[in-house]
Amino acid sequence: MRCPKCGEFETRVLDSRPTDDGFAIRRRRECLKCGFRFTTYERFEIMPILVIKKDGRRERFDRNKILNGLLKACEKRPIPLETLERLVAKIELELQQEGKLEIDSKHIGELVMKHLKELDKVAYIRFASVYRDFRDIDEFFEELKNLRKFDNIDKDKDEGGK
């Protein structure tokens, strides 16, 4: 494993443990040349998934794109990185379990929004505003109204339907 700071190949593993979801191994490493410490993740790949983009292009599924989108949406929110990494793993697992070799990017975006809506409403609205490309304030306001309805339904469930 190459050091991200100095590029040296010689590193040693300081700690190795499974992630919470059990689908990856988290390794803490130290560069033997410069002493920089960093984390790597080892994951198994069941089958490659191709993402069909809006313009019809196909590209390999990249979990980092989902994580980067979540990081932007959750900026300055009280959500730990570990929670976002678990969410990405959950989404990736759901996509794998669908058993399709090609998945529409729209489907992935909707799946991300479904999970974000449950995690953090503000992050959901941030993600939705970029993903759905709201053209004006009315579209944004409509999404807020829908979110309010969703939130009220959840509160009713929590209170036993009262």
With a pLDDT cut of 90, the percent of the chain lying above it is 62
With a CB cutoff of 8 Å and minimum separation 6, the contacts of 21 are 86, 89, 90, 93
**pLDDT value of residue 162:** 47
Residues in the chain: 162
CA 131 remoteness from chain centre: 14
CATH 2.20.25 residue window(s) in the chain: 1-44
User: Mean pLDDT throughout 17-39?
Assistant: 92
Query: How buried is residue 39: exposed, middle or buried, by Cβ count under 10 Å (0-12/13-18/19+)?
Result: exposed
The whole-model pTM stands at 0.67
SS3 assignment for 37-48:
EEEEEEECCCCC
Q: Which pLDDT band holds residue 158 (cuts at 50, 70, 90)?
A: low
User: Mean pLDDT throughout 98-120?
Assistant: 94
User: Mean pLDDT throughout 16-33?
Assistant: 90
111 has pLDDT over 70: yes
Q: Which fold has domain 1-44?
A: N-terminal domain of TfIIb (2.20.25)
